[in-house]
Amino acid sequence: MLIKQLNSLFKFLFVLLVFDLSAQSDCMTSDLPFVAGEEVLYDIEYLMSKTWVSAGKVRFKVEDSIFKKHPCLYLEGKGRTLKNYDWFFKVRDKYASFISKETLRPIHFIRRVREGDFQLDYKYDFNYKKNLAYISDYKKNETLHDTLEIINCSFDIMSSVYFSRAINFNKYQKDDTIPLNIILDKKLYKNINIIYKGKDKVTNQNHKTINCIHFQISLIEGTIFKANETMDVFVSDDENRIPIYVEAEILVGSIRVYSKSIKGTKVPMNYLE
């Protein structure tokens, strides 16, 4: 069952922090919580019977880049199964976004999926004046083109993950809800909520403890999630807002995601011990 869930599991990890930035008075900010050089590695674990089993790894990184002569920040997330699972179901997924340094808006998004025999290649180009996303779907023998209507302050998966870290949680009370939009698989998902649950302490795999902001996300019922379930997310309560730990129930068992290695942050990580 573990391997059968991995293709959806990687998709889950990339949407775990996709907030609706249009819910804020100003969805763009110049005070970003990330800088070029940031890199975070995560371990994904699955609860099999009563034992947590390592299932895969994900890496997120930020780099300086140029896209069509525009200076950009390049945001990339790559997920893969562990090599001992590759013989049965090999996963090599990539999500990447180019963010204009001038406007701080994403201008180009790439989704490249390699999961067993399944392949998917999407590229999105954004036009915020028309609130449209132009999508290229690369098939084996042809390229399909599509157009998606978006709303103000819409972002692709990767840029949403990073820009959501700039949300000012201090203005919310415990159990306040925040609306959430997700652009996924050529669709715009609306009216999903996150629930602010306050602050807590989390100890990572390296036995380091850090103050965190805790919230829950209402999940989309689908291939691995049950109806009316939520996912718990913990991000560092500092200027970096690094996702530290995530856990959720799925149709068969539970999953959790740990930050394994963090480097290149805007300010040094402030561990308690």
Per-residue pLDDT of 158-185, as tens digits, reads 887 787 787 788 888 999 987 766 777 7
User: Rounded to whole angstroms, what are the CA distances from 201 to 15, 139, 176, 209, 245?
Assistant: 23, 46, 20, 7, 11
Reported as type and span, the H/E element at residue 232 is strand 230-236
Instruction: Judge whether residue 269 has pLDDT over 90.
Output: yes
User: Any long-range contacts for 110-114 (C-beta under 8 Å, 24+ apart)?
Assistant: 111/157, 114/90
Average model confidence (pLDDT) across the chain = 81
- What is the C-alpha to C-alpha distance for residues 233 and 222, in angstroms, rounded to an integer? 19
Q: Among 136-140, 235-239, 249-253, whose mean pLDDT is lowest?
A: 249-253
Q: What is the pLDDT of residue 74?
A: 96
pTM score of the predicted model: 0.84
**pLDDT above 70 (res 33):** yes
C-beta neighbour count of 19 within 10 angstroms: 25
Q: How does pLDDT run across 17-32, given as a tens digit for each residue? A: 444 344 444 555 667 8
Q: How confident is the model at residue 241 (pLDDT cuts 50, 70, 90)?
A: very high
Give CA–CA dist 145/158, Å, rounded. Answer: 21
Query: What is the structure's pLDDT at 227?
Result: 54
Percent with pLDDT over 70 in the chain: 80
Question: Which letter does DSSP use for residue 240 in this model?
Answer: S
What integer pLDDT is reported at residue 66 of this predicted model?
95
Count how many Cα atoms sit within 13 Å of the Cα of residue 222 in the half-sphere of its side chain. 10
What's residue 12's pLDDT? 52
Contact predicate 13/232, CB 8 Å: no
For residue 257, is pLDDT > 80? yes
Mean pLDDT along residues 40-62: 88
